[in-house]
Amino acid sequence: DSGVTQTPKHLITATGQRVTLRCSPRSGDLSVYWYQQSLDQGLQFLIQYYNGEERAKGNILERFSAQQFPDLHSELNLSSLELGDSALYFCASSVDPASYGYTFGSGTRLTVV
Amino acid sequence: GESVGLHLPTLSVQEGDNSIINCAYSNSASDYFIWYKQESGKGPQFIIDIRSNMDKRQGQRVTVLLNKTVKHLSLQIAATQPGDSAVYFCAETSGYSTLTFGKGTMLLVSP
């Protein structure tokens, strides 16, 4: 157990639907990162939050959004889902943005049918 | 477990052999590098890191080599074991930017 908790582990949904993925960072970590992993694109950075504020944005689609709450857990919202959104979504955390030894959760496998 | 990369370069070795996994990076400004290991069904796990002011760093059974001239990073695993079978990613960053991951290499260790 890495200390980063992601729920749910698996999610199957239909095209056009909306889902929410949840992440609880490791105790003491203030920075949360979301990555998407697909077979042909590897690990793609989506977005980073630090202590509740958006810190950096990567290749995140406009249909996707995220937030970090006062208790530091984070949610990634994916809407108007398409078949191509099927992937593993990982959350990682670190103490602060200057700490690069990210700790990853086990991921959420999203399947859009 | 779940496969994370059916189209990845694959390195197949025998148990007990030494393994070398290579990674080329493109950003000459990158000054910090990490190797991650990802086992089936799990998230990436930190193995070893190296800063750009070093060219070699050793851990337990693992060594990372950095050649900044040709922007190349390698991970050497000594006496490879079946438990080392996984996908290995290099990641790079500069300053306060987030980690950028390479495509990954699948290591298969045969008993």
Check pLDDT > 80 for residue B84.
yes
Q: Is B53 exposed, middle or buried (0-12, 13-18, 19+ CB in 10 A)?
A: exposed
Question: Which residues in chain A are contacts of B103 at CB distance < 8 A?
Answer: 42
Q: Which residue of A has its CA nearest to B105?
A: A42
* CB contact A58 to B (< 8 Å): yes
pLDDT of residue A16: 98
Burial of B79 (0-12, 13-18, 19+ CB in 10 A): exposed
B43 has pLDDT over 80: yes
Q: What is the mean pLDDT of chain B?
A: 90
Listed range (A7-16, A89-98, B48-57) with the worst mean pLDDT: A89-98
Q: What is the pLDDT of residue B2?
A: 37
Provide CB contacts within 8 A for A14, sequence distance 6+: A81, A112, A113
Average pLDDT of the residues in B56-81: 96
Q: Does B49 sit within 8 Å of A43, measured CB to CB?
A: no
Averaged pLDDT of chain A: 94
Residue A56 clears pLDDT 70, i.e. is over it: yes
| B7 φ, ψ (degrees, to nearest 5) | -110, 25
Inter-chain Cβ pairs, chain A and chain B, closer than 8 A: 62
Q: What is the DSSP letter of B20?
A: E
Confidence at A22, pLDDT banded by 50, 70, 90: very high
Q: What's the CA gap between B34 and A64, in Å, rounded?
A: 28
pLDDT of residue B7: 64
Check whether B4 has a pLDDT greater than 60: no
Nearest to A107 among B43, B99, B102 (CB): B43
Answer whether B4 sits within 8 Å of A101, measured CB to CB: no
Whether A60 and chain B come into contact, CB under 8 Å, resolves to no
**Across B64-71, average pLDDT:** 95
Q: Is A88 on the interface with B (CB under 8 A)?
A: yes
A46-60, A92-106, B88-102 — which one is most confidently predicted on average?
Answer: A46-60
The pLDDT confidence band at residue B3, using thresholds 50, 70 and 90, is very low
Q: State whether B43 and A92 contact (CB < 8 Å).
A: yes
The residue-averaged pLDDT of B42-51 equals 93
Residues of B with CB under 8 A from a CB of A: 2-7, 32, 34, 36, 41-46, 49, 89, 93, 96-104
- Identify from B89, B98, B99, B106 which residue to disrupt to test chain A contact, counting A C-beta atoms within 10 A and taking the largest count: B98
Q: Look at residue B97 in the predicted model and tell me its pLDDT.
A: 79
